[in-house]
């Protein structure tokens, strides 16, 4: 029974959302992050898709940690910008992963674009990998549609959350609690699919468990 898993990230906002989602689903595991490792590698996200980048992170950190590893790659795709910033969302304004600069660049690129043409969606792909068994990766994705506001609203969240307005909720991601965001967000929906896939696998075969009641591989 695996009681610890690694979430291959240094983004504590992402980690908080995953931990809360697992807690709500009564998944009894300890979720470690890169911050819990000594001198972890820093994978180069050279893929051209969210799945490719998630696999790069999952495989490299699984190899390093020898732990079952979850990795995700997420991004914002804006219709008026032909899907940008996409896989470069975290590095939109440079390699420093600076949220404020990324948001500022996004607003500059959308200068003069009317409200009805500021539609966008967030996308997350999650990969679960076991060390040395990468041919058995589990892959799920989730999306959330919304609109980019002309000015940020809300104090919580991270990344583009203050600009991403969800009409069905009448607020931005940054104005939501973690539970509210997990209900509808791209990552929350991907995690929901992940938990369902793990449950399905657990019903079919015995194997390595991510705590009770999840099984991933033989």
Active site residues: 73
Peptide bond into 85 cis (omega under 30): yes
Give the distance, in angstroms, between the CA of residue 24 and the centroid of all CA atoms in the same chain: 17
CB–CB of 78/84 below 8 Å? yes
Sign, Cα dihedral of 207, 208, 212, 214: negative
Phi, psi of 129, deg, nearest 5: -130, 145
Residue 172 to residue 175: CA distance in whole angstroms: 5
Beta bridge partners of 165: 147, 172
Q: Which residues, including other chains, have CB under 8 Å from residue 39's CB and lie 6 or more apart?
A: none
Alpha-carbon distances, residue 153 vs 103, 163, 170, 194 (angstroms)? 12, 7, 11, 30
Residue 162 to residue 42: CA distance in whole angstroms: 27
DSSP single-letter state for residue 176 = S
């Amino acid at each position: 029974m695996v009681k610890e898993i690694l979430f291959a990230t240094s983004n504590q906002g992402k980690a908080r959302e995953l931990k809360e989602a697992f807690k709500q689903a009564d998944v009894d595991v300890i979720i470690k992050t890169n911050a819990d490792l000594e001198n972890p590698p820093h994978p180069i996200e050279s893929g051209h898709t969210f799945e490719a980048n998630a696999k790069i992170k999952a495989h490299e950190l699984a190899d390093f940690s020898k732990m079952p590893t979850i990795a995700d790659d997420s991004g914002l795709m804006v219709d008026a910008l032909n899907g940008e910033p996409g896989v470069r969302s975290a590095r939109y304004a440079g390699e420093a992963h600076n949220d404020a600069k990324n948001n500022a660049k996004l607003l500059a690129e959308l200068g003069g674009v009317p409200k009805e043409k500021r539609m966008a969606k967030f996308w997350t792909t999650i990969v679960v990998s076991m060390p040395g068994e990468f041919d058995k990766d589990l892959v799920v994705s989730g999306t959330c549609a919304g609109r980019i506001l002309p000015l940020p609203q809300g104090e919580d969240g991270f990344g583009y959350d203050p600009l991403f307005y969800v009409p069905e909720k009448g607020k931005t991601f940054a104005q939501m609690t973690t539970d509210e965001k997990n209900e509808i967000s791209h990552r929350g929906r991907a995690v929901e699919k992940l938990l369902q896939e793990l449950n399905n696998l657990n019903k079919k075969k015995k194997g390595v468990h991510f705590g009770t009641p999840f099984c991933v591989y033989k």
